[in-house]
Structure 1
C-alpha cells in the first residue's frame, strides 16, 4: 500500500530542516518545526547583525506544531502551532502517563564570534546552556530574544535584541524556563523515558538523553558525545544529571574525528536501552545485571552547565609511535609554502586555524585536521567552491565569508567571525592553501 500523508507543507531548508516528532497516548502528533537561522538576525550568523524585530520566522518556524495522527491530508499552517520560542527540538519523550511531552533544545551558537565586544572567547564554549523543556500549550520558551545562562540560572536577553552580554533580562522574565540545563553545545539529539524493570529503580524517574556532541566549543575541548540520565520529580529536575554511557567518540571528541556519535535512543520490551550511532551506523544495546535496587548509587555526575571552558586544546604533531590523537598529522614544519607567502606565515596560519591566535573557530566546522565535518567542507581535497584555490583566492574567500553556501547549510561570516587583521588573514590563507598541497 502507498503511504498516507498525515501533514504536508512543512517548512524545509535553512539551518535546521529536520522534523522530529512524537505521538502521545491521545493520538496527538507533536512535530518540531525548527528555526531557519541561528538567532533570527537580519543576516544569519553575521557579526553585529541585529535581530529581526519582529522575528517573522516565528510565524512558521521556531516551535512545536500539533496534529491529529488519525487524520490524513492535514496542511501545515501557523494555526497548528502548539508552543513557540524553541530553536531546535531534536529530542522528544513522553512521561510514564503517555501524555506529557518533553523536548530537548539545541541552544544558539556564536555569542563571542558575532558579538566579541560583549562576550569573552571562552563564553563561545560555555554559553548558552542546552535545555530540557516541558511542553505547555501556548508556551513561549524565549528564542530568539532570550537564551538560558546556566551560571545565572535564568533566561537573559540576547545581544541581537539589546542584550549586554548576560546581564539584561527584559522580556525574558515572561518566558518559560527549562526543566533542566546542560553544558553548552553538547547537542541533545534524542531522549527517552523508561519505566521498565531492567535498570535499578532510580532510572524509572527521569530521562535518558543522547548528546550528539559539540562543534561550537572550539578552540576549547568539545563536549557531549555521550548518553546521560537526568532525574526528574514531576515537572522539575530532582538532581544533577549523570554520565550514563561514554566513550563513543573514541580518542578524540570532535565532529570530524569521532569514531561514533550517539544520535538516537529507544527502550526495548525487556527494558534494554538501545543507542544508535550516526557515524558508522552502529546500534548499542545496554543491559543491567543485578537487583532492582542496584545497591549504593555510584555514578559520574555531569559537569556543571556553568563549568568553565578549560584550556585551549593544542593541536601539535607527534611521532607516529606516540599516543597523541594527532600523531602523524601534517604541521607547518612539513607543509609547502605558496608563492607570495613564507614558512613563518604558514606557521602563524596554523596557530590561527587552531584557535591559538585571533580567536578563530575554524576547527569547529572544518575539523582539527581540515578534513571537514557536516558543517564545513574538506580543505585538503582541492575541491574549491568559492575561488580558484590560489593563495590570493583563498584569502579573498576568508575575508569576505560565504553567506550562501552551495553545499552546506550554515554560512561562514567574514573572517569566520573572528576579528582577524589583514596579516592574519594572509597567514590563514597560506595555511589553508598548504593543507591542500
Structure 2
C-alpha cells in the first residue's frame, strides 16, 4: 500500500513550482519593470526598496549577501536573499553612526568603508550581522567640504585605492590629496612604490594620480588597466566641457582638471586642450595631461561603472562596460537636460568605441533627474551573474538579469 506521504510529494512539488512561477512573474512585473526600458531578453526587478538616506555603493560579502551604504543615514546595511527569489528578505543594519559612508569593499575578511574624513574596517559579525570589531585604517582624509563622497576598491596588486573629490567646482586644490586617486597598503600605510612616495610633502606621497575632479567610481580591466569615471568642470555652459566617462588612470599622471579637458564626444585618444577662461588655471601645459578614452555630453554625471565579464549576460554583452549616469543639475536649457540612465560602453580590442542605451525610463521627457522616479548610482555584478543597481533618489536597489541566463 502506498503511503499518503508519498502521494503528497507530487502535490508539494507542483505547489513549489507554482509559487516560484508567481514570485518570478511578480519580480518581472513590478514597478521597475513598468518604468525601465531594457534591450530584448533582459528583465529588471526591485531587489530592495524603502531604503532611506541615499543608497550609494555596494559590495558582496563572503557569504554572498549584498552590503550597501546609506550615505545620509550613516549606515551600512546587509540585504540577504536566502530564498533566492530575486528580492532581499529584509534590511539588516550592520553598522551605523558613520560620517557619510560611501565606498565599501570586502578584503581578507574585513569590510572596508570609506567615510568623508577617514577609512574604517569591520570584522566579526554577530548573529544579527552587526560587526563586533571596528578599526580606523586611515584617520585623516581631507574633510567633508566640497565633493565629500569617498570611493575605495582593492586593486589586483592588493593595495587600497581611494578616490577623493575636489573641494570646489573650479580652481586648484589647497590639499594635493583632493581631486585625486590615492593608494595605500591595506593597513593604511604608504606603499614604497607610490609615484610620489619620496615627496617632501607627506600628503603627496599618497597620490596615485591627480587632476581628477570627482571620480565617483573606478575598476580594473582584464589587462590590469585602472579605469575611472570623471565629473568635470562646471560653470562653462550647457555644452562644456565634455564629460569624461572613461579615464585610463595613469600612475603619477595628471588628468587635466582644473586646467584642461578632452575635446569632442565619443571615442577620444586626443590630447587635452585648455579652454578654461580663468587666471587661476593658467601656467599648466595641457599637452602633459592624460586625455580621456571616452566622453559624453557635459554634465551627464557618470558615477558607477562595472565590467560584465562575470555576468549571465549574452556573450556579446559580456565583454563591455556599463556606466550609471546620475543626470546633472548643471544644464539650463530644458531641451538639454541630461538623462539618468545606464549605458553600455561597447569595447573592441580593449578600448571603448561607442555607447548604446541599456537601461532608461527613470526620467520623464522634459524632467530633471532630481525630480525623476529614480537616479541610478552604483553598479555591481553579483555571484548570480545579475547586475545590481542602487538608486539614491528612489531609495531602491534593482536587479537586472538576462532572461535566458541562470
- State the 1:203 CA deviation: 2.0
| 1:395-414 equivalence runs, <5 A | none
Specify which of 6, 10, 19 is matched with residue 150 of structure 2.
19
Query: Cα distance 1:66–1:131, how it changes in 2: closer, same or farther (>3 A)?
Result: same
The answer on 1:34 being equivalent to 2:165 is yes
> Are 1:111 and 2:236 counterparts?
yes
Partner SS, residue 370 of structure 2: coil
CA-CA distance at 1:214 after TM superposition: 1.6
**Which one of the candidate residues 280, 284, 292 is aligned to 2:398?**
284
Question: Does residue 242 of structure 1 match 2:356?
Answer: yes
CA-CA distance at 1:109 after TM superposition: 0.8
* Residues 135-171 of structure 1, C-alpha deviations (whole Å, 9 max, x = no match): 221011111110222259652214245699xxx9972
How many angstroms apart in 2 are the aligned matches of 1:159 and 1:56?
Answer: 16
> What residue number does 2:379 align with?
265
User: 1:81 and 2:207 equivalent?
Assistant: yes
Count how many residue pairs are aligned between Structure 1 and Structure 2. Answer: 261
Relative to its length, the structure with more strand (as a share) is 2
SS at match of 2:134: coil
Given that residues 194 and 207 in structure 1 are in contact (C-alpha distance below 8 angstroms), is that contact kept between their aligned partners in structure 2? yes
1:183: Cα distance to partner?
A: 1.7
Post-superposition offset of 1:261: 0.3
Which residues in structure 2 correspond to 1:257-406 (within 5 Å)?
257-290=371-404
Distance verdict in 2 for CA 1:72–1:144, change over 3 Å: closer
Query: Does the 8 Å contact 1:20/1:90 carry over to 2?
Result: yes
State how far apart, in whole Å, the 2-side matches of 1:73 and 1:28 are: 10
Cross-structure match for 1:226: 341
Please state if 1:156 is matched with 2:277: no
Per-residue deviation at 1:284? 1.2
CA change 1:128–1:9 in 2 (3 A) is same
Q: Distance in 1 between matches of 2:218 and 2:207?
A: 16
1:295-323 deviations in Å (ceiling 9; x for gaps):
xxxxxxxxxxxxxxxxxxxxxxxxxxxxx
In 2, distance between residues paired with 1:56 and 1:272?
A: 39
User: SS at the partner of 2:251?
Assistant: coil
Q: Distance in 2 between matches of 1:272 and 1:100?
A: 24
Query: Retained in 1: the 8 A contact 2:339–2:369?
Result: no
User: 5+ residue gaps in structure 1?
Assistant: 41-54, 113-123, 293-437
CA offset digits 1:57-76 (Å, max 9, x no partner): 3623111100112x157798
1:132 is aligned to 246
Q: Describe the SS at the equivalent of 1:173.
A: helix
Aligned positions of 1:159-198 closer than 5 A: 159-161=276-278, 171-198=285-312
* 1:87–1:234 Cα change, 3 Å: farther
Deviations 1:100-156 (A, max 9, x none): 3211000111114xxxxxxxxxxx245333331112210111111102222596522
- Look up the match of 2:320: 206
Deviates more, 1:227-236 or 1:74-83: 74-83
Deviation at 1:289, TM superposition (A): 2.3
Aligned residue number for residue 95 of structure 2:
none
Match of 1:4 in 2: 135
1:283 is displaced (CA, Å) by 1.3
Once the two structures are superposed, residues 30-68 of structure 1 have per-residue CA deviations (whole angstroms, 9 ceiling, x without a partner) of 11111101121xxxxxxxxxxxxxx35362311110011
Q: CA offset at residue 197 of structure 1?
A: 4.9
Give the structure-2-normalised TM-score: 0.59
Distance 1:197 1:261 in 2: 22
| RMSD of aligned Cα (Å) | 2.9
Post-superposition offset of 1:14? 2.9
The 8 Å contact of residues 146 and 158 in structure 1, kept in 2 or not, is answered as: yes
The structure, 1 or 2, with the larger RCO (C-alpha pairs under 8 Å, 6+ apart) is 2
1:61 pairs with 2:178: yes
For residues 169 and 291 of structure 1, the distance between their equivalents in structure 2, rounded to whole angstroms, comes to 54
Residues 247 and 35 from structure 1, CA distance in 2 versus in 1: closer, same or farther, beyond 3 angstroms?
same
Given the two structures, how large is their TM-score scaled by the length of structure 1?
Answer: 0.55
**Where is the helix percentage greater, Structure 1 or Structure 2?**
1
